[in-house]
Structure 1
Amino acid sequence: MNASEAVYKAILDSGVDFVTSVPCANLKTVLNYLNDDKDIQHIPVTREEEGIGVCTGAYLGGRKTALLMQNSGLGNSINAIGSLVKVYKIPILIIISHRGDLKEKISAQIPMGQWTKKLLETVEIPYFSPKTPDEAYKLIKDASELSINMEYPVAILLDALYWEHDK
């Protein structure tokens, strides 16, 4: 199982049936799998806070949700996390492609890469950083369950080293 397959299969096996996403090169294959899957409703969005809002509505409508995004958009979603999901206890599995860390070639990605974990800690979102597809599969399933139990988002951070398992 490669990196993308592990993420996709874990989403399926977690019972997630509604996904929003913001385009990301690292998540491209996962997003293609989701687009082809008739059992999961996949709604691409243009901004991360929009994804938070759409997931919130889907959850309130009885769906189990996930948001897939790049960490550069985490800052965009902070207000929606604080004023919507925290207040109304909305569980969302957030799968984040963590740019701006090891092996980053685009300097503009580095500041948010350095701040991502601190931002998640500031808004009290637990996060896990799997290093292998097998570990990602397990942690995504566990994070999805934790999110439901906490009634709050839980994040999975997938860094450049993780995505090397897609090659």
Structure 2
Amino acid sequence: MDPSISVFNGMRMTGIDLVVSVPCINLKDILPMIDSDPSMIHVPVTREEEGVGICAGAYMGGKIPAMLMQNSGLGNSINALASLNKLFHIPLLLIMSHRGVEGETICAQVPMGQLTTSLLDALDIPYVVPTIDNVEETILHAWAIASEKGRPVAVLLEIGFWEAE
């Protein structure tokens, strides 16, 4: 199975129709799929907090948003997630490439990699860690939690997830 296709299929199953993205090498193969799908709008952004705001507005306008990002950008988006999504109960699916965990080859990724789950816990943002075998269903389940609870939910795609390529 191709991990990028599986993530994309999970997004389609969920009904995601607006995707905001911040560049990430692990997520790069998903972007052309989004761009070629007429049911999805793709909005590339330069900073994660900008993406949080765009997704919140899109949700209020009737869209089902997701943000593709690297976990290192979680630090950039903390204020927006807490003061916008959490405060106003706005769901958001955060699909994150989880860098800096076991198998990471770039030492600069490690500090944020080690802090990611603690930051999500501190923000009271639930997270799931799918495998290639269950990623489609996991993305669907994550959005169900986000929409039911009115909150962001993170899908953490760890380094091992991409080894199926």
Quickly name the TM-score band, shorter chain normalised.
over 0.9
CA distance in 1, matches of 2:162, 2:143: 21
TM-score (norm 1): 0.97
**Residue 36 of structure 2: aligned partner:** 36
Q: Report the residue type matching 1:68 in the other structure.
A: L
Structure 1 residue 103 displacement after superposition: 1.2
Instruction: Please state whether the residue corresponding to 2:136 is helix, strand or coil.
Output: helix
Cα-to-partner distance string for 1:31-90 (whole Å, 9 max, x where unaligned): 121111111001010011111000001001111110010000000000001110011111
Q: 1:86 is matched with which residue?
A: 86
In the alignment, the residues of structure 1 paired with residue 65 and residue 47 of structure 2 have an alpha-carbon distance, to the nearest angstrom, of 16
Q: Tell me, which stretches of 5 or more residues in structure 1 are unaligned? A: none
Give the AA of the match of 1:140: I
Identity of aligned residues (%): 49
Does structure 1 conserve the Cα–Cα contact (< 8 Å) formed by 2:13 and 2:136?
no
Tell me the TM-score normalized by structure 2.
0.98
Q: Which residue is 1:74 aligned to?
A: 74
Q: CA RMSD in A?
A: 0.7
Correspondence for 1:97: 97
Q: Structure 1 segments of 4 or more deviating over 3 A?
A: none
Q: Which amino acid aligns with 2:51?
A: G
Kindly report which structure 2 residues correspond to 1:7-156, keeping only aligned pairs within 5 A, or say none. 7-131=7-131, 133-156=132-155
In the alignment, the residues of structure 2 paired with residue 98 and residue 120 of structure 1 have an alpha-carbon distance, to the nearest angstrom, of 12
SS at match of 1:26: helix
Distance 2:50 2:32 in 1: 20
User: What SS does the corresponding residue of 2:94 show, helix, strand or coil?
Assistant: strand
